[in-house]
Structure 1
Amino acid sequence: MKKLFNNEKIDTKSLNEVIKLGSRILKVLFVLLVIVGIYAVTLIFKEWKILPFILLILKILSPFFIGIIIAWLLDPCVKFLHKRGINRVVGTSLVYIVMLLLLYLLITTIFPLLLGQLNDFIRVLPDVFSNVTDWLNNFIDRFENISFIDVEAIKTDVVASINSFVGSLTTDVPRTIVNFISGMFSTIGVIAVGLMIGFYLLFDFDNVGKVLMTMLPKRLRSDALSLFTDANDSVFNYIKGTFVVSIIIFILSSLVFTITGLQAPLLFGLICGITNVIPYIGPYLGAFPATLVAFTQDVATGIIVLVAIMVVQFVEGNFVQPLVMSKTMKLHPVTILIGLLLFGYFFGVVGMIIATPLIAVIKSVVLFIERKFEILKFNEEE
């Protein structure tokens, strides 16, 4: 009591510390409640077979959604040109011309190299697995003097597992390539329609949001606009930053893999760039296959590649990330990891990729509710 009272007056400093602690606890509980709510809704969707229906609707409307995403991503470029006196129609045309030229250069330069390296890597894949098998057998042989370990049985199981994996891989890879090529034509058609929709939406993209706002009651429009702006800025900055960082990782990884003599350096650089979009665990997922293949070439190459990957990750974590991602949303690592586990469990790799932007939207909603209704918020008067 003496700590809280001094001459019959409340010690506001101690009281504020208690209030701030209570505020933090309430915020954590609120976030956990949101996560549990998402988990419950997802379970209900799976139980009632709602999720397949939603996915079917999304597939049917996919050209429209692709168009909206393209317009949303390119709108800042069109706005940049519009502020400098260029008409939005002309600006949209210029942005699309540049984008299509970049796509053409990508298809005519990077893709052939990737396909060539992929083809070469598939040819040497049996040798890679043979080296892995030899290395594992040599490692297992070290335990032959231990009486209770049946070394030969373990070696037999390991060889059988690797042969089974190689057999399924040699069967699945060609089938996957055939399915990819057969599905490419329909995908190209969907993307082409999406590009056309995005082109026309960009002419007056700002009015799209205004039209959507008119569907809401007038008393909700101001709050909805504020919430949408916060969520939009947060997610857009994250996607833009993640894209730039992934491109840098792809370039750096491809360069160091080429210098170190790793097989298919561009292919493994691309894997590192793609997996980097998954926070925290993505870099390890991308580094594992490159390191494994490097060690199957020879130990020296493996060590050099491993050190090179560590250097790239050090540069990315200490220089690239702070520089590029400084203006993106600030999320606690535990929150991101919980989101990765939750969305990854239900939606696989795609869920892990979209987890962080969705959590950013949830955070924007939570902060909006906090500001609007003044909950989880206390004055700190001393």
Structure 2
Amino acid sequence: MKSKPVSRQVTSQKVIRILVIIVLILVSLFLGKQVDWVLIPVRQLFSIVGLPVILAGVLYYLMNPLVDWLEHKYHVRRTWTIIGLFVLIAGLLVWGIVALIPIIRTQTLGIINDWPSYWHHASNEINDWLNDPKLSALRDQVDQWNTNASKLLSGKVTKYLTGTVSSITSVVSTVTTVIIGLITMPFILFYLLKDGHQLPKYLAKFIPTKGRASFLQVLTEINAQVSNYIRGQLTVAFFVAMMFAIGYWIIGLKFALTLGIAAGILNLIPYLGSFLAMVPSVVIALVISPWMLVKVLIVFVIEQTIEGRVISPLVLGSSLKIHPVTILIVLLASGKIFGLMGVIFGIPGYAILKVLISHLFAWYREQSGRYPDDEVANDDTSADEKSER
């Protein structure tokens, strides 16, 4: 397959243009880092609007399929559907505040107040198990961990006590931001549900006519990736919280509801969340009895089996098509760079980046004509599949 020199020249010019754009973006990021003060207003603006926009976006992906279904199936106007959902959510919130919040508050305060004694008792239990001379090295390591944890906790307390005024100011500022975010979030969510489906076409107006179809296709794939991830993760987290809460309640573990909810929230961190949620449960179980620890571990094994074999494959499937090793690497890298927000949003961010890069590479492969073997291999594979059928 031979291509015309002119087309090769045009393709080379396009590739060079893309490389120049990438270099300019990197240079802009570097210069922006050098004049970091310029970005302070942007960060302040994001600190104000970031919370309501993120919350509204998450709820949009949860509620939009239902709004679309009611509109197409029963021809209900979107506005009335949205208002009805808002009333339903408000009723659920009132019920949660009246019925669940007092229980969660009492259990949370109980965990916070009793945690030092729980941790001390659990450490003593572990040290008793490690009294065997053969495990002296491991016992010394546990003692070192306890010493480091005590020093870290003492340092944090001292830091907060010495900065009481600034801490109070920070807390007041944070609470104010959260309240403003919770007030403005429903309005953002309403207009997202009402007009959000028109946003891609609106953005496409700023793209040259020749590239609008590809642009809309990229937006569609990104929207599908993000929506599948958000809905899937929240659905799995709900079932995880319910399974842990019911399991802990059956075995008689203290603070069952709060520990179950914490497990569901931490499950938003792929692969690592459930194990992190086990730490307080194991510590509390150690304080009660060794048999309670065994029952907690049984609940954990049952939950992991049901989640891994039934819930996650059914809800998530292979929608993101990301290898587990890649997920772990992305979590470690994004967590190191962006902290907790990186851990939570690293995977959907990677999925978006993957869509963009795959489309860019597909365009380059088509324009350059340098991958004829792939096309032949694909044709041979499809021919073999047809012959087998």
TM-score bin (small chain):
0.7 to 0.9
Q: Find 2:66's aligned residue among 37, 61, 77.
A: 77
d(CA) in 2 for partners of 1:118, 1:269: 12
Q: Find 1:56's aligned residue among 44, 66, 77.
A: 44
8 Å Cα contact 1:140/1:155 also seen in 2: no
More off after superposition, 343-352 vs 279-288: 279-288
More off after superposition, 76-85 vs 134-143: 134-143
More off after superposition, 109-118 vs 171-180: 171-180
Q: Aligned AA for 1:254?
A: A
Partner of 2:332: 341
Q: Find 1:97's aligned residue among 82, 87, 90.
A: 87
More off after superposition, 305-314 vs 118-127: 118-127
The change in CA–CA distance for 1:179 and 1:360 in structure 2 (over 3 A counts) is same
Partner of 2:106: 116
Is the counterpart of residue 295 in structure 1 residue 286 in structure 2? Answer: yes
Is the counterpart of residue 106 in structure 1 residue 103 in structure 2? Answer: no
d(CA) in 1 for partners of 2:84, 2:220: 26
Alpha-carbon distance, 1:246 to partner: 0.3
Q: Aligned AA for 1:105?
A: W
1:15-38 deviation line (CA, Å, top 9, x unaligned): xxxxxxxxxxxxxxxxxxxxxxx9
8 Å Cα contact 2:201/2:216 also seen in 1: no
d(CA) in 1 for partners of 2:145, 2:65: 54
8 Å Cα contact 2:241/2:261 also seen in 1: yes
The change in CA–CA distance for 1:321 and 1:350 in structure 2 (over 3 A counts) is same
Partner of 1:241: 232
The change in CA–CA distance for 1:59 and 1:183 in structure 2 (over 3 A counts) is closer
Alpha-carbon distance, 1:180 to partner: 6.0
Alpha-carbon distance, 1:253 to partner: 0.3
Partner of 2:353: 362
Partner of 1:378: 375
| Larger relative helix fraction | 2
d(CA) in 2 for partners of 1:104, 1:356: 33
1:278-334 deviation line (CA, Å, top 9, x unaligned): 122222112222122212322111121012111101110011111111262111122
Partner of 2:218: 227
The change in CA–CA distance for 1:169 and 1:297 in structure 2 (over 3 A counts) is farther
Q: Aligned AA for 2:349?
A: L
Q: Find 1:268's aligned residue among 259, 265, 277.
A: 259
Alpha-carbon distance, 1:240 to partner: 0.4
More off after superposition, 360-369 vs 129-138: 129-138
Secondary structure, in 3 states, of the residue corresponding to 2:376? coil
The change in CA–CA distance for 1:209 and 1:106 in structure 2 (over 3 A counts) is farther
Alpha-carbon distance, 1:201 to partner: 3.5
Q: Aligned AA for 1:74?
A: M
RMSD: 3.5
Q: Aligned AA for 1:61?
A: V
Secondary structure, in 3 states, of the residue corresponding to 2:281? helix
1:98-149 deviation line (CA, Å, top 9, x unaligned): 2222222233322221111011222322321331342244345434997xx8
The change in CA–CA distance for 1:45 and 1:284 in structure 2 (over 3 A counts) is farther
Query: Which residues of structure 2 form unaligned runs of 5+?
Result: 1-24, 381-389
d(CA) in 2 for partners of 1:109, 1:181: 28
d(CA) in 2 for partners of 1:111, 1:178: 26
Alpha-carbon distance, 1:353 to partner: 1.2
Partner of 2:121: 131
Secondary structure, in 3 states, of the residue corresponding to 2:338? helix
> What is the TM-score with the length of structure 2 in the denominator?
0.75
Alpha-carbon distance, 1:86 to partner: 0.6
The change in CA–CA distance for 1:127 and 1:100 in structure 2 (over 3 A counts) is same
Query: Which residues of structure 1 form unaligned runs of 5+?
Result: 1-37
8 Å Cα contact 1:258/1:265 also seen in 2: yes
Identity over the aligned pairs, expressed in percent? 24
Alpha-carbon distance, 1:75 to partner: 2.3
8 Å Cα contact 2:125/2:286 also seen in 1: no
d(CA) in 1 for partners of 2:220, 2:197: 12
Partner of 1:11: none
d(CA) in 2 for partners of 1:293, 1:43: 49
8 Å Cα contact 1:295/1:303 also seen in 2: no
8 Å Cα contact 2:58/2:230 also seen in 1: no
Alpha-carbon distance, 1:339 to partner: 0.8
Partner of 1:284: 275
1:75-109 deviation line (CA, Å, top 9, x unaligned): 22221121111111111111222222222223332
Secondary structure, in 3 states, of the residue corresponding to 1:374? helix
8 Å Cα contact 1:67/1:198 also seen in 2: yes
Q: Find 1:307's aligned residue among 288, 295, 298.
A: 298
Partner of 1:33: none
